[in-house]
Amino acid sequence: MRSSLWKTICAAAMCAPLVAAAQQQPSDYKREKRWADQIVPQIVAGEPVWLEAPRTEKFLGIYTEAKNAKSAIILAHGLGVHPDFGLIGELRTRLADAGYTTLSIQMPILAADAPAARYPVLFWEADARFAAAMTHLRRKRYQKIVLLSHSMGSRMANHYVGAHPQVPLAGWISLSISSGEYAPIKRISFRSSTSTRKTTSTPCCKARRSAPPCSSACAVRARAWCSRPITFSRRRKRSSCC
Find the angle CA(172)-CA(174)-CA(180) to the nearest 5 degrees.
120
Per-residue pLDDT reduced to its tens digit, 27-55: 999 999 999 999 999 999 999 999 999 88
Q: How many CA atoms lie within 13 A of 166 on its CB side?
A: 0
Q: Which domain holds residue 143?
A: 26-184
- The torsion region of residue 180 among left (phi > 0), alpha (psi -120 to 50) and beta comes to left
Query: pLDDT per residue over 48-58, tens digit each?
Result: 999 999 888 99
How many structural domains does the chain have?
A: 1
Q: CATH number, domain at 105?
A: 3.40.50.1820
**Cβ atoms within 10 Å of 164's Cβ, excluding its own:** 15
**197 assigned to some structural domain:** no
How does pLDDT run across 202-230, given as a tens digit for each residue?
A: 444 443 333 333 333 333 333 344 344 44
